[in-house]
Each structure stands twice: as C-alpha cells, then as structure tokens.
Chain A
Amino acid sequence: MTSASSANSKQQTANSKSLLSAVCCVLCAIGALGLPIVLNAYHIEVLTSALIYALLALGLNLIVGFTGVLHLGYAAMFAIGAYAYGMLSVYGRWPFWLGVPPAMLIAGVSGVALGIPALRVRGDYLAIVTLGFGEIVRIAFTNLEQWTGGPNGLLGIGHPQLWLPGRGLFNFGVASSPYYYLTLLCVLIVAGLSVRLSRSRLGRAWIAIRDDELAAACMGIPVLQLKLLAQGLGGAVAGLGGAIFAAKQGTITPDSFDFILSVMVLAMVVLGGLGSVRGAVLGALVLGTLPELLRGFDQYRMLLFGLSMIIVMRLRPQGFFGGFRHRRHVHAA
C-alpha cells in the first residue's frame, strides 16, 4: 500500500469517526431541543445565557484558540454588536433579522481595526492594548448618553419577530425559550463552521501561527493577515451574540460588558482546551452555569468559583479537550 492510499484509508477512518461524533452531536442537539419542555423558566434563562457565552467562547476561540493572540477586550466586540443592533432598533425601527448583519459587520470591522496595532505591538503588550480598547468602548458607551442612554441603558430594543405558518407573526417577547432555540441554532452553526475551518488549510495555518509564528511565516503563511482574519471573524461572532443579547434583554447597560466578561469568556476557552471547538462550548456551559449551580452556597459561590478555576488549571492545564491527542482525533484520525 502506498503512503498516499494509506493516507486516504486513514481519511476514511477519519470520516467514520467524524460520522460517529456527528451522531453524538445530533443526539445532544435533540436533547437540547427537548430541554425547555422539561425545565422551568428560570433554568431556561440560565441555559440561554450559557449559550450566549458559548457563542462568545466560540468566537474568542477563533482568536485565542486558533491564532494564539491573547485578547482581553472581547467584551467590547459583544458590546459593539449589542449597541449596533440596539440603536438600529431604537432609532431606526429596524427589525431584528435586518439588524443582525450590520451588527456582525460593525463588530467584525472593529475586530480587524483592533488587530492593527499588532503591526507593531506584540505579546503581552498587545494583550494590554486589547484590554484598553475594551475599557475605552465601555466608557464611551457610558458617556455618550445622548445616543446610548448612558449608565441607565438603552431602552426599548425590539424583540425578534418571526412569521410562523398558521400562527401568523410571532413575537419572541420576554420569555426565554424562543431565545434559547435561536441561540442554540447559532451555536450549532458557528460550531459547525469552526470545526470545518479548523480542519482546513486556514485552520492548519492558524494553529501553525499559534505554535510557532516564525516557522509559519517561513512556510509562506501570511501571519498578520490571518490573525486579522481571525479577529474579524471572532468580532463578527461576538456581534451576533450581542445582537441576540440586546434583543432578548430589551435594555442594555454598559456594565454588562465589563472586563470581567472578557476574562470569563477567555477562561471558558482555556478551560475547554485552546483551539477545541467542543471544548469552548463545554467550557462556556460549565462556567456559565456554575455560578447558578453554586447558588446554594449563597455568598460563597464566587469564592468557590475562583477556587475551582485555580484547581482545574492545576489538575488539567490543557483544559477539557486540549493537547495534541484531541487534535489528532479531530484532524487525521
């Protein structure tokens, strides 16, 4: 057997394995679809915000997980998406579905713009630039009161409406479950695209940049361009999350987008395993629901939350699905 054909047979095992994992995903998805029937409204609410976290973690995974750029201002992308849709809705009466693409576009362009200092600034210095950018955006939304409503928030953002056969125009309203389904759908789409990207020429180039930037460049990989691409995509995903968040809340205030949010999303990505798509989702679901699970401990819960982050990093530094084994599983079989 020549190595080329053995590569192909390996490819087939890879296909059968990915079929297996696809079946698992479908089963999980069916389970997820059924959850709102079993759970009460409060639990659905918690799950919905965990899913929004998952969307953010998937987006940040493109930046930190794939290209290795430490980004500490990701909440700003989320904020930009939320305010973009919010302002289009409040001032322009734009419907949700029309507002989402510009929200994603604006957040994506901001993501690319934020990547520009990377032309000169690197490493931890770049991380602090992203942190500063995050703070600047939050303070700007707080202070531009005449447009954003300032600290009191932007009020009266429209909920999505959907025309359903037989039921006419359905307004998502304030109940959680429609948003739960919408976010779930978005998470599945973004996760699916991320997995495909990670197995592609681009995904390999991103990982190569993360592992060794200089060696990647010497292989002809345009490092800066691909980093900017990842930041733009990551920004657009955060913009999508922001638009959903704004539509669900109806009111957004700048303090929903503080530095702690950036840090939490980063922790989700690292906890899941850098570069792992399912890890990002799982990390978000765990960290997104953990504070609620710890609610019984009342005021000790954030203390325990911090402690569990320290313990997980000590016991499993590569995260849930990190390290090479996972990658081999995903890529070559």
Chain B
Amino acid sequence: MTPLELFAQQLANGLTLGAIYALIALGYTMVYGVVQLINFAHGEVFMAGAYAAVFAVLFVGVSGAPWGVALGVAVGAAVILCAALGWAIERLAYRPIRQASRLNAFITAIGMSLFLQNALMLIGGATDRQFPAIVPALRWEVAGVTVTLIQLLVWGSAAAMMAALQWLVMATRLGKAMRATAQDLTACLLLGIPVDRIIAVTFMAGSSLAAVGGVLFGLQYGTINFHDGYLIGMKAFTAAVLGGIGNIPGAMAGGLLLGLIESLAAGYLSAQWKSVFAFGVLVIVLLWRPTGLFGERVADRA
C-alpha cells in the first residue's frame, strides 16, 4: 500500500465510524435543541436498536430470504422498538420533571441510562453477542482502497437519513413547530402549539436515527455488547457538542469530524491515544469557538 492509499483507507474507515457517530449525535442534538437536556440514555437507546435487530433476525428466521429483506426486518424492528423506547423515556421519566432544574433532568437521564444498560444486560446477556452477518461480505478495490458493501450501506443510509431529517425539520409543519419549540417553549404553549407532542416526536425521531445507527454499528463491527452504548454514546455526544449542540448540520459535521480524527489518530499516531486526540480536539475547538463549530454566538444559558 502506498502512503496515499493508506491515507485514503483511513479516511474511508473514519467516514464509516463518523457516519455512525453522526446518526447518534443527531438524537442528542435534537433533544437538546428542544428541551436543553443532555439525554444521557440516548447511547443505551442506540444499543437497544442493535439488540432489537439481533433478536428480530433470530426470531423471524431470515436465512432463506434475500439479504435486503433480512436487513429490512432488522432495521424495522430496531426503529419500531427504539421509537417506542424514546417515547416511553420522555413520557415516563423526563416529562414529569420538565419544570425542575436541568441538573435534576440530567440525574434522571443518568438513572435512565443505568436502568436501560442493565435491562439490556438482563435481556441480551452480559457477554459479547455476535451480530448476524445478514449483509453479504462483498468488497471492492477502488484505486487501492478496499470498500465493503457494509461501508457503502453505512454511508448511503446515513446520508439518506440526514437528508430526510433536514427535510423534516426545515420543510414540514412539524419541523417548523419543532424549531419554534426550540426557540421558546413557553411562547409555543401560549400559541397553542402541542408542545408535549412535538417533544415526544423529537425523542422518537432521534431514537429512530439511533436505531439505524445501532444496526449499522452491528453490521460494521460484528459484535455488540450491552455497555458499548455508553462509550459510543459519549463519543456521539462529544460530536454533537463539537458541532454546536442543538444544531443539526453541526451534529453531522461533528460526527464525521470525530470519526475522521479517531481513525487518522489511530492510523498514524497511536490507537491507544485516539480518544485523547478526539477530546483534545474538542477542547481546542471549544476554546476557539466556545459554542462549537456551528453553534450560535451567544452566551449559553449556564
């Protein structure tokens, strides 16, 4: 491999990881935008998506079906379960304390994260679980860089989901209501916008993106574990902050950037220190632009 090919390969790997981060980061950023809550349980929702896919594939028994059908079953199950989970989390844990201080909501989110993580362990087992290889292991050589079918799927679906989200938020009535709620929740209440429903939909949409992220993560890395959600979730949250939390294009850019930094740092510097580089870049970016790359330039409410 020439140095250039090596670089391109790292870039491809980084984009894959980054696309997954971005999908999860969107959930953090959407929820934060609407209710200013760091939804700590979001990483667990992502993992729940991966587990739902595993179980759906096992139960439905898709061995004979074409891989597209199998993938459809996996993604469908993950999205349905996660959307329901996102709705339930908001309805049962966060809505009752929406008036309380933000620190309370944060602790509730941590409690929810612990609860879900352990629920996943009880349901899915404490050890690593093989993710079914439903997508054929096709690979192509493009100018010296190996690209797998799974990677193409990751890129394609991430791009499609982000485009769909952008359309939802910018071009529909629902999206308009979401943006209005993010601006001023009280004013929306006064104007008769069904704020509760908008918030619930935001949680469900974010959770669905995380569900897709969970399936893609399982496909790409082959094994899943109940506590992966915490680590990946934390990275995705970092990505959301990097881009400017509450900002949708920011979450996408932050996710891709973080994936690239980790991949390049692992490839050229040291795999052990890659997270240090990721967090180091975060700190430097925030010192340079205190509200993230795409953040508003106003002082954050502390």
Q: Tell me the complex Cα distance, A117–B282, Å.
A: 12
A140 on interface, CB distance cutoff 8 Å: yes
Give min CB distance, A290 to chain B, whole Å: 12
Measured CB to CB, the closest approach of chain B to A121, in angstroms, equals 5
Are B111 and A306 in contact (CB-based, < 8 A)? yes
Question: For the complex, is B58 an interface residue (Cβ under 8 Å from A)?
Answer: no
- Contact B276 A136, beta carbon cutoff 8 Å: yes
A310: chain B residues at CB < 8 Å are: 93, 108, 111-112, 115
Residues B104 and A122 in contact, CB atoms below 8 Å apart: no
B290 is contacted by which of A122, A139, A140 (Cβ under 8 Å)?
A122
Task: Give the CA-CA distance A70 to B101 in the complex, in Å.
Answer: 12
Partner of A270, one of B38, B93, B104: B104
> Which residues on A sit within 8 Å (CB–CB) of B121?
299
Task: Report the separation of the CA atoms of residues A306 and B230 in the bound assembly, to the nearest whole angstrom.
Answer: 14
Say if the beta carbon of A302 comes within 8 Å of chain B. yes
Most buried by B among A139, A271, A313: A313
B-chain residues with CB within 8 Å of residue A139 when the two chains form the complex: 272-273, 275-276
A306 touches B114 (CB 8 A): yes
CB distance from A179 to the nearest CB of B (A): 27
Give the CA-CA distance A267 to B114 in the complex, in Å. Answer: 12
Assuming the A-B contacts A125-B241, A303-B119, are A309 and B97 also in contact, with contact meaning beta carbons closer than 8 angstroms in the complex? no
**A313→B97 contact, CB < 8 A:** yes
B122 x A303 contact (CB < 8 A): yes
B287 within 8 A of A: yes
Pairwise interchain contact B279-A132, C-beta atoms closer than 8 A: yes
Q: Does A314 contact B (CB under 8 A)?
A: yes
Interface size on B, residues (CB 8 A): 51
The reply to whether B97 and A317 contact each other, CB–CB distance below 8 Å, is yes
A271-B107 CB under 8 A given contacts A128-B237, A136-B280: yes
Please report the C-alpha to C-alpha distance between residue A123 and residue B292 in the assembled complex, in whole angstroms: 12
Q: Which residues of A contact B237 (CB under 8 A)?
A: 128
Complex: how many Å from CA A274 to CA B106? 13
Q: Does B113 lie at the interface of the complex (its beta carbon under 8 Å from any beta carbon of A)?
A: yes
Residue of B nearest to A210 (CB): B302
Q: Flag if B286 contacts A117 (CB, 8 Å).
A: yes
What's the least CB distance linking B102 to chain A, in Å?
Answer: 9
Which B residue sits closest to A119, measured CB to CB?
B287
Chain A: which residue is nearest B36 at the CB level?
A124
User: Of the candidates B101, B111, B276, B300, which one forms a contact with A123 in the assembled complex, judged by CB atoms under 8 Å apart?
Assistant: B300
Instruction: Mark A299-324 against chain B: 1 for CB-CB distance below 8 A, else 0.
Output: 11011011111100110010000000
Check A172 for interface membership: any CB of B closer than 8 A. Answer: no
B282 touches A303 (CB 8 A): no
Q: Does residue B100 face the partner (Cβ distance < 8 Å to A)? A: yes
Does any Cβ of B come within 8 Å of A143's Cβ? yes
Q: Does B151 make an interface contact (CB < 8 A)?
A: no
Q: A125-B286, A299-B122, A317-B100 are in contact. Are A309 and B111 (CB under 8 A)?
A: yes
Q: Is B234 an interface residue (CB 8 A)?
A: yes
Q: Is the CB of B301 within 8 A of A309?
A: no
Docked pose: A154 CA to B270 CA in angstroms: 22
A66, chain B: closest CB distance, angstroms: 13
Q: Given the complex of chains A and B, what is the CA–CA distance between A7 and B100 in angstroms?
A: 33
CB-CB under 8 A from B276, the residues of chain A are 135-136, 139-140
Name the residue of chain A whose CB is nearest to the CB of B282. Answer: A132
Whether B241 pairs with A302 at a CB distance below 8 angstroms is no
List CB contacts (< 8 Å) of A203-223 with chain B.
213
A124, B111: Cβ atoms closer than 8 Å: no
Instruction: Report yes or no: A270 in contact with B107, Cβ–Cβ below 8 A.
Output: yes
Question: A263 vs B282: C-alpha distance in the bound complex, in angstroms?
Answer: 20
Interface residues of A in 85-129 (CB under 8 A from B): 117, 120-125, 127-129
In the complex, whether B147 has a CB less than 8 A from a CB of chain A is: no
Interface residue A133 (Cβ < 8 Å from any Cβ of B): yes
Nearest CB in chain A: distance from B299 CB, A: 6
Which residues of the other chain, A, contact B238 by a CB distance below 8 angstroms? 128, 131-132
Q: Indicate the member of B114, B272, B292 with the most A CB atoms within 10 Å.
A: B114
Interface string of A130-151 (1 = CB under 8 A from B): 0111011001101100000000
11 pairs from A and B in contact (CB 8 Å cutoff): A124-B32, A143-B272, A271-B107, A274-B103, A303-B115, A306-B113, A307-B111, A309-B107, A310-B115, A313-B111, A317-B97
Which residues of chain A have a CB within 8 Å of any CB of chain B? 64, 68, 70, 117, 120-125, 127-129, 131-133, 135-136, 139-140, 142-143, 213, 259, 263, 266-267, 270-271, 274, 299-300, 302-303, 305-310, 313-314, 317
Q: Closest 6 A-B residue pairs measured CB to CB?
A: A309-B111, A306-B114, A306-B115, A132-B279, A123-B300, A303-B118
